[in-house]
Amino acid sequence: MLVTKQPVLRRFWYAIMPLDRLRDGPKPFTLLGEKIVLWLDAEGKPAAVRDRCCHRTARLSKGFCENGRLVCGYHGWTFDRTGRCVRIPQSTEAMIPAGAKVDAFRCEERYGYAWVALEEPLADIPSVPEGADPKFRRIHQFYELWQCGGMRFMENSFDNSHFSFVHKGTFGQFDQPKPSKYELWPTDWGFESESIVPVNNPPGAHRVTGDTHPVTTRHLRNKWYMPFCRTFHATYPSGLQHIIFNCATPIDDNSVQLAQILFRNDDEASCSTAELVAWDRAILAEDRDILEATDADACIDTRRRVEFHMESDKPGLLIRKKLMELLEAHGEAEVHL
């Protein structure tokens, strides 16, 4: 999917940046080809505006923050979170032109990230109940650039059949290539799914799974949130829950900023943050290697009801179908999924 060609995608929330990265001043980001700048206001809340000063077009991300306001590093013009210019050092407040402002975008904090919607959102920021449950700890695992499309990342997230091949070095069972059956329940803005998947459980994963058997199972209750967010919710026989929330935030047609947050119903003594990051890092590296070898704009025939080669492509087909319906409903002219 060429995300920059689909204006309706501007009407969703995307995880842009961990709040901790904004503590020392404004930061630039490119969302759907739009250059924006983020900072923290006087209340410590994230704010976002177009990264272009209305005076001499300098990038506002080259400036600094002062009392929760964004100061242009060129001539000191100062903007509040609504994009309104509130100070011109060379003039009095009464002489600030009425049109002295920059475009501001909706910006909120959730799960330790600044989220941005470029236009009026069609849906809320995805809800992850474990994010407010004290029984679960939250671990910010990864925030990194991937050279692949968000659509490809989402398809892969629900594809059981790639486990035996892409993940044969970690948990995949190479001698058991037939994928587990999926149950799917469409929702207004995505779907919920359930599957029970047997996986290899090498010694390095024992504390992650809470299981010492060479093979264990994942009871998966995963969710997709349109367009590029998902929850991977795995429960092991030990009772441990390993819940990953991802947002594949689209930078442009060929790259995403991948945010990954982990929720666990255990503590540091049971399995350390370092162990959890290392285990998921190895799995993510396998996914990244293959996904960065895919084409972000391959045309898919969404009229086919079932792919001929695998049961587990049902989630991918539903993702394409629902995105096609969304784009068609909002008048998009050319749709490549």
pTM for the whole structure: 0.92
Segments of the chain assigned to CATH 3.90.380.10? 129-329
Which residues in 98-135 are b (16+ Cβ under 10 Å) and which e?
eebbbebbebbebbebbbbbbeeebbebbebebbeeee
Neighbours of 243 (CB within 10 A): 22
In sign, the C-alpha dihedral spanning 44, 49, 55, 57 is positive
CA atoms within 13 A on the CB side of 107: 27
Tens-digit pLDDT profile for the chain (337 aa)? 789 989 999 999 999 999 999 999 999 999 999 999 999 999 999 999 999 999 999 999 999 999 999 999 999 999 999 999 999 998 877 788 888 999 999 999 999 999 999 999 999 999 999 999 999 999 999 999 999 999 999 999 999 889 999 999 999 999 988 888 889 999 999 999 999 999 999 999 999 999 999 999 999 999 999 999 999 999 999 999 999 999 999 999 999 999 999 999 999 999 999 999 999 999 999 999 999 999 877 555 445 444 444 555 788 888 888 888 898 888 754 555 4
For 129-329, give the CATH class.
alpha beta
Task: State whether the Cα torsion 94-99-101-107 is positive or negative.
Answer: positive
Q: Could you write out the DSSP letters of every residue in 234-282?
A: EE-TTS-EEEEEEEEEEEETTEEEEEEEEEESS-TTTS-HHHHHHHHHH
What are the start and end residues of each CATH 2.102.10.10 domain in the chain? 3-117
3-117: CATH topology: Rieske Iron-sulfur Protein (2.102.10)
Nearest to 332 by CA among 93, 31, 56, 1: 1
Residue 27 C-beta-side C-alpha neighbours within 13 Å = 14
